[in-house]
Amino acid sequence: MAGLTDLPKGRRVSFEIFDNQGKPAAKNLRVHGHPGNPSEDEWIAAGVTQNARYQMNPKKTESLEVKRKPITQAELETALAEAVRAHDAHCEGLIAIIVERVRPTSPVGSNWRVKGVKYGKAERDRCEAALSICVEKMQREIEISD
């Protein structure tokens, strides 16, 4: 469904699995070793590929569960705001990020999401871009503890 119908057997493919409305899906699809140049990787889709859903059975899903570092909600809000400020100097004026605990929609899903942002004098567009990157990374690494 992602244009991989003529993929030769044995060719390595990598992708990231993410939670797409409660269902695992693939993004950042890459075929390793382009035919013209074996050391060159070919990006199939840099962003989300809507039709490239990776259907997982329960055994595979269990093996993909990530051990996340448990921290408190307050610690997460502070760490996330600091990460955004560090990611882009134009976000220095960011005041705070508010997160809320949620029930994961899949075994690989995160137990938190951003509820709100206090931008202060920071550039909103730049902060939103930095926030998106930081949230994606931190949702794989951190969970809110009790």
What tens-digit pLDDT sequence spans the chain (146 residues)?
555 666 667 777 777 777 777 777 777 777 776 655 555 555 554 444 444 444 444 444 444 556 899 999 999 999 999 999 999 999 999 999 999 999 988 888 899 999 999 999 999 999 999 999 999 999 999 999 97
pTM: 0.56
Q: Which of 15, 2, 16 is nearest to 136 (CA)?
A: 16
What pLDDT, on the 0 to 100 scale, is given for residue 53? 46
How many Cβ atoms from other residues are within 10 Å of residue 76's Cβ?
A: 21
Q: In a 3-state reduction of DSSP, which class is residue 42?
A: strand
Q: Which of 58, 10, 4, 59 is nearest to 26 (CA)?
A: 4
What pLDDT, on the 0 to 100 scale, is given for residue 106? 82
Q: In a 3-state reduction of DSSP, which class is residue 31?
A: strand
Longest dimension (CA), the chain: 53
Angle, helix 124-141 to helix 73-87, in steps of 10 degrees: 130
Q: Which two tokens stand for residue 145?
A: 């503890």
Q: Pairing between strand 142-144 and 69-71?
A: parallel
The beta-carbon contacts of 4-7 under 8 Å, at least 24 apart in sequence, are 4/29, 4/31, 4/44, 7/31
What pLDDT, on the 0 to 100 scale, is given for residue 58? 47
What pLDDT, on the 0 to 100 scale, is given for residue 96? 96
What pLDDT, on the 0 to 100 scale, is given for residue 65? 53
